Amino acid sequence: MGGAVSAGEDNDDLIDNLKEAQYIRTERVEEAFRAIDRGDYYLDGYRDSAYKDLAWKHGNIHLSAPCIYSEVMEALKLQPGLSFLNLGSGTGYLSTMVGLIIGKLGTKSATNDDKHSNYRGNFFSPAGPFGVNHGVEIHKDVVEYARDKLDSFIKTSDSFDKFEFCEPVFVVGDCLEISTESHQYDRIYCGAGVEKIYEYYMKVLLKVGGILVLPIEDQLTQITRTGQCTWDSKNILAVSFAPLVQQSRADGDKPESVQLPPVAVRSLQDLCRIYIRRTLRELASVGDEDGQARRAGAQRVPQKRKRRHCRRRRINTYVFVGNQLIPQMVESEEEHGDDEHKDEEANVQEEEEDKEERDLGEVEILKQTNVFRDHILALPLPESLKEYLLYYRKK
């Protein structure tokens, strides 16, 4: 499934194409897609295919097409502080993007779109204010792969410091065998084809006002729970998904129940880290805005004009004075071959300076991340505590 948009040269180019085709329609979803490089979730040797609008599978590892993930993210109507369950969580790519949205403490008032949500201005359900992010995957090797990719994102990605991240927790198990005592969720996504007989099983995992997105009967479907026994259903997109894999067992064996991670209150230490990082992020943002204003107000240095290097030489010529032809020496300009070589060198230098100016924006983005890190490193704290505040990141 896929191929709805043109291939991109890199992650940002792919997102531009998804926006142009109206698969990505909100700023919140766009920010999450740009923050997570799809290519990082591919195996070495397959990254060249990462920015095509196509699904990819290698063994048990699978990624849906970017246009599908875009529609899913938009259909989930994610808000800060929500709880999310990913059934068939795979590589963790989608769960990581979701974590960038639900992990942030919001401040805006509820809108009509939020009327069924637990999001109410500054008030959240016990799942908030930093959200809950759980995933269930039947293949143990894929769960290990997802955990490795998550660890790499936290430790190395420049995007990590720009968000309050709700870290996904992945468990191994059959998502059709979730314990009946499990808590309910605000948002649920199933990443494999679901038979009609399992639709109700997944719908009851939703809280009232919650949204379930799943492929069923070749349609990507959005289901909203409007009451204890009522749901609204809406088809989003015609799709073709591989069927949900179930746990194999011998006849008569009792299925192994899946215990989802508990919704635990964050430790005081973890809360302190979150709020310290938020404060420093705001300070870094203000400092970056001031720097941008200074740069915008500064007078731009005019470009140097290219000069022709010429030499003068005397030549013999003749002029008419009345009816007489008189020889006379005049000066003529002629470009010197050596000076032409110097001109070429000067032109190359000017082109390099122009390129540096064009790349200034990218440099400033990196500076913002470095400013945030510098704020933490400048704190009068023990080195071990600084490393904790940085999530032990090395860059």
Q: What is the 3-state secondary structure (H, E, C) of the chain?
A: CECCCCCCCCHHHHHHHHHHCCCCCCHHHHHHHHHCCHHHHCCCCCHHHCCCCECEEECCEEECCHHHHHHHHHHHCCCCCCEEEEECCCCCHHHHHHHHHHCCCCCCCCCHHHCCCCCECCECCCCCCCCEEEEEECCHHHHHHHHHHHHHHHHHCHHHHHCCCCCCEEEECCCCCECCCCCCEEEEEECCEECHHHHHHHHCCEEEEEEEEEEECCEEEEEEECCCCCEEEEEEEECCCCECCCCCCCCCCCCCCECCCCCCCCCHHHHHHHHHHHHHHHHHHHHHHHHHHHHHHCCCCCCCCCCCCEEEEEEEEEEEECCEEEEEEEEEEEECHHHHHHHHHHHHHHHHHHHHHHCHHHHHHHHHHHHHHHHHHCCCCCHHHHHHHCCCCCC
Residue 55 has a CB neighbour count (10 Å cut-off) of 18
The answer to whether 368 and 284 are in contact (CB under 8 A) is yes
What is residue 378's predicted lDDT score, i.e. its pLDDT? 87
Q: Which two tokens stand for residue 395?
A: 């860059």
Residue 43 CA, chain-centre distance (Å), reads 18
Q: Which of 6, 64, 95, 125 is catalytic?
A: 64
What is residue 202's predicted lDDT score, i.e. its pLDDT? 95
Dump pLDDT digits (tens) for 50-60. Answer: 999 999 999 99
Which residues of the chain are modeled with pLDDT < 70?
1-4, 105-129, 249-253, 287-370, 394-395
For residues 149 and 151, give the distance between their C-alpha atoms in angstroms, rounded to a whole number. 5
What is residue 305's predicted lDDT score, i.e. its pLDDT? 44
64 an active-site residue?
yes
Could you tell me the CA-to-CA distances from 53 to 61, 70, 174, 361 in Å, in that order? 17, 11, 29, 28
For residues 183 and 88, give the distance between their C-alpha atoms in angstroms, rounded to a whole number. 18
What is residue 356's predicted lDDT score, i.e. its pLDDT? 60
Strand arrangement of the beta sheet that strand 219-225 belongs to: 169-172, 132-137, 83-87, 185-190, 206-216, 219-225, 231-238
What is residue 338's predicted lDDT score, i.e. its pLDDT? 55
Dump pLDDT digits (tens) for 108-137. Answer: 333 344 444 443 333 334 344 579 999 999
For residues 22 and 29, give the distance between their C-alpha atoms in angstroms, rounded to a whole number. 12
